[in-house]
A and B are shown apart, each in its own frame.
Chain A
Amino acid sequence: MEGWAGKYLEIDLSSGRIENHPLDKEMARLFLGGRGLGARLLWELVGPEVEPLSAENVLIFCAGPLTASGAQTSNRFTVTTKSPLTGTVCDSNSGGWWGMQFKRTGYDALIVRGRAERPVMIEIQRDGKISIQDAGHLWGKTVSEVTEALGQNNNKRNVLCIGPAGENLVRMASIMNDGTRALARGGPGAVMGSKNLKAIVVEGSEKNSANDPELFRFMLYETGKLIKNSPITSQAYPEFGTAVVMNVVNEIGALPTRNFQQTQFEGAEKISGETMADTILTGNRACWACPIACTRQTKTERAEGEGPEYETTWAFGAQCGIDDLPAIAEANYLCNDLGLDTISAGNTIGCAMEMGEKGLVDTELRFGRADLLLPTIADIGYRRGLGDELAEGSYRFAEKYGAVQYSMTAKKLELPAYDPRGMQGQGLLYATSNRGGCHMRGNMLGPEVLSLPRLVDRFANQGKAGIVAVHQNEAAVVDSLVVCRFTNVAVSSEYFARLLTAVSGIKFTADDLLKVGERVWNLEHLYNLREGFGRADDTLPERLLNEPVPAGPSKGHTARLHLMLDEYYQFRGWNEQGVPEAAKLKELELEGV
């Protein structure tokens, strides 16, 4: 194969039917793969009448044209579904080895639909044989138990599965691959659980070879040079992991603390990447074909495992008022084993802590109670006691107690580790994100803090919308190629375009790719409009809009979304209600949808 395998697999768990389909070449050109292809297929397959946890919802696993090509970080893949947490289009994206191995089975995508009567697993063997097998003996097992039982072997056989949280339909359940990698945001694990699908094991033998090996080798050299020359990808992430960001975000007063009540955490240094390197870090590890190696291998007095990365360290740290790094690491290990999104879990626990302190809910949870992290996470994963309510996510939890103002979510997805009152563009990004409050739809940390590609005033509003939209489009195309977004710290679209040209033999320019990104973004937006979402949903929690930051470098600021949203819609070519104009749809070749 050269970029695309040219076919996808569809498995209906209700009927047991297994079918191959050719991949439409025009669809591949317009949406590439990964997130883009997933969104396009979901548009066709899952309409507004479908409940996310019903048999009619689908899971669409997609590789991209660069997956398994050998380009730096070309290990990634996506899963797309209708989210049980947000009700929006949702894709989650993961690294490791599984994506590479799946591509080597000779498929660009796998669509899983229906619901098995009993727990099952899917296996794609090296000889191409595909089977649906009984998985009753695996039901109830944790991620590490299942991964080991099914013979995970990083270069030959790769396991993707859910843990107890997915089985129990926890709305923030992740799908895990290769033991510790997560397709986490938006609760795809619950969709997999609703289908009685415990695991998917893949073994592949095909190669994604470059159409133009000479150009490909040159581009690998050039992109490798950029990654090696960037202090972020060659030093900061390998040595300190993504939690190297902690002190910087805290310093500028944009670190959400105690459920976004403050924006600086007095314990930030204790949970930073630097402290991790000095205390619990035992080594670092890389995904397939990755020269960055940001993965943390850590060990506490009681346990060892992978992580935590920045968002997790924040979620169980500053968000919960906890500066106990070993406790945070152990919370991460447990989330991985149960199959839980750490951002949503930590954010939701922080919400419960504030509500507990305010006497709105009967719980022992209080800010700083590191001792309650593990039991609370376990209760969420197994839906026990208060955990059963927290398993619904912070929005539904807070709503139940008439206190939705304490849910720090956008479109019911728990916000991550940047307070938009200290980074105005990030607020617009959260509010307009198609899968809800998320930093991976085009993080403004680059332009607003790290000078990537240029430093912009983080408190400015006018002129910010275009920058946000361009970053969103670029994120969408990187997620469709699929490569790791950390590569994008050093490598821009002009390089990705040439890499794709070298692999596929089809000429792509940087502008072509950004157009793909814009197309994907608009299609996802159209999907949400069809689901009934509108302008009123492009918003932020009341606290961020109306409560000024009490102290620190961002003191006095709120998230001034009202100054940016109209400009954003205009830049996007949408009307005042956020509906794309006909000319925009024509420009993006989306008239047919």
Chain B
Amino acid sequence: MDQRLYEQFRDIGRDIYLGGITSSHGGNMSVRVGNRIIIKRRGGQLGRLKEEDFVETSLHRKDSGLLRASTELIVHREIYLQTSALAIIHCHPRTAIVLSMSRDEIVPIDNEGSYLLHKVPVISVEYASGSKEMADAIASGLKGYKIVMLRGHGCFAVGQTLEEAFHWCSTLEEVSDIILEASLLHEPFIEYRRNAEGYQKW
């Protein structure tokens, strides 16, 4: 793998872990390089990625990369096949996970979140890890959104670069923290955004 690309993985991975939006061994990342996928190996730690922690596999067909790649390879492959994504991040932002268990969409109430994400759909599947059912549902969701939540599990974000996908993940968690903390005030929400109902229909 190209040294610069490795450094992107390493730095973004460390930021995800230190940012507290995934556990020591949770989450995964990949990029699309031509007709290949470079993805973190199963069990590699996002916060301390080494060059040998990556597996290169085919975009269009399964191969022995299945043996070492992240369990979510099936989801990454389906996203690349169904969308124009060039990079994917999956992580476990905890406040967003909390919200995903009581609602079918996360609609930001803060200004930046509204501007950047508009709305984040929550997807629910029976087998919420590495299944074809999950891959189809996530890929389908990402056709219309840059980031989606899998109920009770975590988010999948896409971008042209890892940094872009990371931006959506960190924004989602910020959005979710704000929703949660605002609800703890038990005070009436003053709508300050013109045509805010449009976000619900996004």
Which of A228, A229, A234, A248 lies in contact with B68, CB distance below 8 A?
A: A248
Pick the interface stretch among A60-68, A450-458, A535-543: A450-458
A231 partner residues in chain B, CB cutoff 8 A: 66-67, 69, 71, 73-74, 130
B66 partner residues in chain A, CB cutoff 8 A: 231-232, 235-236, 244
Residue of A nearest to B68 (CB): A450
B62 and A230 within 8 A (CB): no
Which of A229, A246, A451 lies in contact with B64, CB distance below 8 A?
A: A246
Q: Does A25 contact B (CB under 8 A)?
A: no
Question: What's the nearest-Cβ distance from chain A to residue B185, in Å?
Answer: 40
B63 and A247 within 8 A (CB): yes
Residue of A nearest to B55 (CB): A248
A450/B131 contact (C-beta < 8 A), A236-B62, A455-B43 known: no
Inter-chain CA distance A232–B62, complex, in Å, is 11
Main secondary structure of the interface of A (DSSP, over half): helix
Question: What's the nearest-Cβ distance from chain A to residue B84, in Å?
Answer: 25
Q: Does B146 contact A (CB under 8 A)?
A: no
Which of B44, B67, B74, B130 lies in contact with A248, CB distance below 8 A?
A: B67
Question: What's the nearest-Cβ distance from chain B to residue A50, in Å?
Answer: 43
A235 and B127 within 8 A (CB): no
Q: In the complex, which of the residues B68, B73, B74, B127 has the most CB atoms of chain A within 10 Å of its own CB atom?
A: B68
Inter-chain CA distance A455–B53, complex, in Å, is 10
B69 partner residues in chain A, CB cutoff 8 A: 231
Inter-chain CA distance A96–B152, complex, in Å, is 38
Q: Which of B128-160 contact A (CB under 8 A)?
A: 129-131
Q: Which of B43-73 contact A (CB under 8 A)?
A: 43-44, 62-64, 66-69, 71, 73
A273 and B43 within 8 A (CB): no
Inter-chain CA distance A247–B55, complex, in Å, is 13
A240 and B68 within 8 A (CB): no
Which of B41, B44, B68, B130 lies in contact with A230, CB distance below 8 A?
A: B130
Which of A240, A248, A272, A454 lies in contact with B43, CB distance below 8 A?
A: A454
| Number of B residues with CB within 8 Å of any CB on chain A | 18
Q: Does A449 contact B (CB under 8 A)?
A: yes
Inter-chain CA distance A209–B46, complex, in Å, is 45
Residue of B nearest to A451 (CB): B43
A449 and B131 within 8 A (CB): no
Q: Does A392 contact B (CB under 8 A)?
A: no
A229 and B41 within 8 A (CB): no
Q: Does B42 contact A (CB under 8 A)?
A: yes
B41 and A248 within 8 A (CB): no
B68 and A235 within 8 A (CB): no
How many residue pairs bridge A and B at CB < 8 Å?
Answer: 64
Question: What's the nearest-Cβ distance from chain B to residue A417, in Å?
Answer: 14
A235/B63 contact (C-beta < 8 A), A229-B129, A248-B68, A451-B68 known: no
A229/B43 contact (C-beta < 8 A), A244-B64, A244-B67, A248-B64 known: no
A236 and B64 within 8 A (CB): yes
Q: Which of A218-251 contact B (CB under 8 A)?
A: 225, 228-232, 234-236, 239-240, 244-248
Which of A234, A236, A455 lies in contact with B67, CB distance below 8 A?
A: A236
A454 partner residues in chain B, CB cutoff 8 A: 43
Inter-chain CA distance A244–B63, complex, in Å, is 7
B131 and A274 within 8 A (CB): no
Question: What's the nearest-Cβ distance from chain B to residue A422, in Å?
Answer: 14
Q: In the complex, which of the residues B67, B69, B130 has the most CB atoms of chain A within 10 Å of its own CB atom?
A: B67
Residue of A nearest to B69 (CB): A231
Inter-chain CA distance A234–B72, complex, in Å, is 12
Inter-chain CA distance A232–B63, complex, in Å, is 11
Residue of B nearest to A445 (CB): B67
Q: Which of B100-139 contact A (CB under 8 A)?
A: 127, 129-131
Which of B41, B64, B129, B130 lies in contact with A240, CB distance below 8 A?
A: B64
Which of B43, B62, B130 lies in contact with A239, CB distance below 8 A?
A: B62
B64 and A245 within 8 A (CB): yes
A235 and B129 within 8 A (CB): no
A234 partner residues in chain B, CB cutoff 8 A: 130-131
1/0 per residue, CB under 8 A from B, across A426-459: the answer is: 0000000000000000000000011111110000
B64 and A273 within 8 A (CB): yes
B64 and A274 within 8 A (CB): yes
Residue of A nearest to B128 (CB): A229
Inter-chain CA distance A233–B76, complex, in Å, is 18
Inter-chain CA distance A257–B25, complex, in Å, is 35
Inter-chain CA distance A246–B62, complex, in Å, is 14
Q: In the complex, which of the residues A225, A231, A272, A455 has the most CB atoms of chain B within 10 Å of its own CB atom?
A: A231
A240 partner residues in chain B, CB cutoff 8 A: 62-64
Inter-chain CA distance A232–B68, complex, in Å, is 9
Inter-chain CA distance A451–B39, complex, in Å, is 14
B129 partner residues in chain A, CB cutoff 8 A: 229
B62 and A235 within 8 A (CB): yes
Which of B62, B63, B127 lies in contact with A229, CB distance below 8 A?
A: B127
Question: What's the nearest-Cβ distance from chain A to residue B64, in Å?
Answer: 4
Residue of B nearest to A232 (CB): B67
A230 and B64 within 8 A (CB): no
Question: What's the nearest-Cβ distance from chain B to residue A32, in Å?
Answer: 30
Inter-chain CA distance A452–B67, complex, in Å, is 10
A236 partner residues in chain B, CB cutoff 8 A: 62, 64, 66-67
Inter-chain CA distance A217–B187, complex, in Å, is 47
Inter-chain CA distance A236–B73, complex, in Å, is 12
Q: Which of B7-50 contact A (CB under 8 A)?
A: 41-44
A455/B64 contact (C-beta < 8 A), A229-B130, A230-B71, A231-B130 known: no
7 extra interface residue pairs, beta carbon distance < 8 Å, beyond A239-B62, A244-B64: A229-B129, A229-B131, A230-B130, A231-B130, A236-B64, A240-B64, A454-B43
Please list 26 pairs of residues, one from A and one from B, whose beta carbons are closer than 8 Å in the complex, sorted by A's number.
A228-B131, A229-B127, A229-B129, A229-B131, A230-B71, A230-B130, A231-B73, A232-B66, A234-B131, A235-B66, A235-B74, A236-B62, A236-B67, A240-B64, A244-B63, A244-B64, A247-B63, A248-B64, A274-B63, A274-B64, A450-B42, A451-B41, A451-B42, A451-B68, A454-B43, A455-B43
Q: Which residues of B contact A (CB under 8 A)?
A: 41-44, 62-64, 66-69, 71, 73-74, 127, 129-131
Can you list the 7 inter-chain pairs with the closest CB atoms, starting with the nearest?
A451-B43, A236-B66, A229-B130, A247-B64, A231-B66, A229-B129, A451-B42
